[in-house]
Amino acid sequence: MKRVFKSFTFYFLLLSLIIIYINLIGRDSKNILLIYFNPLLNELAHIDSLRDFLNSGPPINSNSFSMGTTLFWYIGNFITCIFYGLFLDGIKLSLKKLSEKGKI
């Protein structure tokens, strides 16, 4: 259990769930935290075919004033946060292995 709390993936997933919750309760009505705070999802939002796909999912009712968000945006946020966490965990593991070999 201690290992889970030391991983970047756990904290990025927690951050993703918090961002999704903030969006669902209507505190992020312009999707700034959901889309623009996430660099990979922000880049995907500027590709027309991917944006159309992400907007084609089942709509989610939230208390926001702007257009509704679909389930695919939330799944995309969750997946990209997993990617960020695994990437940073991989860097941490490689640095740990290098330090054990005495190369750092």
Burial category of 41 from C-beta neighbours within 10 Å (exposed 0-12, middle 13-18, buried 19 and up): buried
**Model pLDDT for residues 43-76, shown as the tens digit of each residue:** 998 999 999 999 898 988 877 655 678 899 999 9
What's the pTM?
0.85
Radius of gyration, CA atoms only, the chain: 17
Q: Which residues pair with 69 in a beta bridge?
A: 60
Tell me which of 52-56, 79-83, 87-91, 99-103 is least confident. Answer: 99-103
CA distance 63 to 50: 25
Domain ranges (residues) in the chain: 2-97
Six-digit token pair at 52? Answer: 């159309």
Question: What contacts 29, CB < 8 A, 6 or more positions away?
Answer: 64, 65, 66
